Structure 1
Amino acid sequence: MKVIGAGFGRTGTASLRAALDLLGFGPCYHMSVVIAQPYRVRQWLDVGEGRSRDWDEVFAGFRSAVDWPAAAYWRELAARYPDAKVVLTVRDPERWWESVSETIFRSALAERRRLPLRRRVIRRLVALRAPDFALYPRMARATVIDRVFDGRIDDRAYAIEVFERHVAEVKAAIAADRLLVFESGQGWEPLCAFLGVPVPEEPFPQVNERAAFMGKRPRRLWRLIVRGR
């Protein structure tokens, strides 16, 4: 593991993942990897519920990791991989809340309500065809929703407080020469200088995480129902 992303989801983690891949620090682990490979859901459920924390197994084949659920375990990963550098992606807390409340948190809150019949049928089909992926809501609660936010993802003020406290804790815990506080709008220069690599000629990747999130899980659910994988 060469780079650990400590930033919360919806802080430009998808763009950072693309950038790290381009810079030679890939493959980069991201929540989209978990969604694409459902057996990893059970791995993280084991982590979140305290049954296993074999980080070498979880990240086998990857040279970097960003986004949740990995970012929720930044302390453990920084200790396990002491030579890895840490990138803390940040953004304006209010804008972060707007983004996360319309994507990740909105999806998680929907899981708490009784689902419409159509959604219950889909859930049942997914459970039959892809039992690992059916554990995704439970995994998300164990590793992020409850662990990081105490389940209070509908409390705007509390979530922003957690976000700001997280940024302060990472800055306090990680040595300055090992940490980069980064916003994707800053482009290549600070990231490349921090990692000690040349600046690419192509523009810094700007991945629309909100748009990707809105289409990612529905497509994945359909493939799981039809193909069972």
Structure 2
Amino acid sequence: MTIQVFGAGVGRTGTYSLKLALQQLGLGPCFHMEEVLQHMPVQVPLWSNALNGKPDWQAIYGGYESAVDWPTAGFFRELNAAYPSARFVLTHRSPESWADSFGATIYTLIGDRYNAPPDMKAWLEMAAGVIARTGFPEGLDRDALVERFVAHNEAVKKTIPADRLLVYEIRQGWEPLCEFLGVPVPEPAFPRSNDRTEFWDLVAGNGRR
């Protein structure tokens, strides 16, 4: 089993909905930050090594057929080189609405990581490092977040060959995603999940739901 699809979109662009959709299309299990939360003793050191320039993609993604969200999105260049036949989905949304959502969830969480429970601190430090690496260090205001979000998306589009990249909004539903992946459109409605309330529930539950 090897990864067939990577998500290059950062958190709060519908990555959890994309995870559910890919799994529904038979491209699962799908790796998401939730997987890191559920397997912190194994996954946090692996991603910390990746941050230090020593990734072990086989160890990270073993048993998965797709991967979305951070930390994956922060390594799209390396993953493009390591998996030259994989396809990439760049989830995006209005930069302003993304900045508001990111600021009220992930950015708040990592900004307050020094007050987190001890068993969460290593994960939060790793996450903060990945997010900063992607272009979002601490201390940015809303305008800067908007600017960096646009810059990330443009970098993805310049890096990934057009025939292997789908620029996609979750509200578009099944059709463009299924056409890109060459699979039939399923009958069930497109999954939509992980609003701001669900985000905090997920973190509070330490990824177990």
Q: CA RMSD in A?
A: 1.7
2:49 alignment partner AA: D
- Matched letter for residue 129 of structure 2: A
Pairing 1:1-229 to 2, within 5 Å after superposition? 1-39=3-41, 40-50=43-53, 52-111=54-113, 115=115, 123-124=117-118, 126=119, 133-144=120-131, 146-149=132-135, 151-220=137-206
Instruction: Indicate the structure (1 or 2) with the bigger Cα radius of gyration.
Output: 1
Once the two structures are superposed, residues 33-77 of structure 1 have per-residue CA deviations (whole angstroms, 9 ceiling, x without a partner) of: 101111211211121133x21111110001111000110001111
Deviation per CA, 1:173-209, whole angstroms, max 9, x where unpaired? 2222111000010010000000000000000001134
Give per-residue Cα distances to partners, 1:146-190, cap 9 Å, x unaligned. Answer: 212352344222221111011111112222211100001001000
Residue pair 1:14, 1:209 contacting (<8 A) in 2 also? no
**8 A contact 2:100–2:142 mirrored in 1:** no
Whether contact under 8 Å (1:13, 1:67) holds in the other structure is yes
Tell me the number of residue pairs that the alignment of Structure 1 and Structure 2 aligns: 205
Q: What's the TM-score once normalised by structure 2's chain length?
A: 0.92
Q: Which moved more, 1:172-181 or 1:8-17?
A: 172-181
Distance 1:29 1:76, change over 3 A: same
* In structure 2, C-alpha distance between the alignment counterparts of 1:78 and 1:168, rounded to whole Å: 15
Quick check: 1:2–1:84 contact (8 Å CA) kept in 2?
yes
Normalised by the size of structure 1, how large is the TM-score?
0.84
**Which one-letter code corresponds to 2:18 in the other structure?**
L
The CA deviation at 1:212 is 1.9
- How far apart are 1:109 and its partner, in Å? 1.2
User: What is the aligned-residue identity percentage?
Assistant: 44
What secondary structure sits across from 2:50 in the alignment? helix
**Alpha-carbon separation, structure 2, partners of 1:82 and 1:37:** 27
Separation in 2, partners of 1:193, 1:165: 27
**Which portions of structure 1, spanning 4 or more consecutive aligned residues, are displaced by more than 6 angstroms?**
none
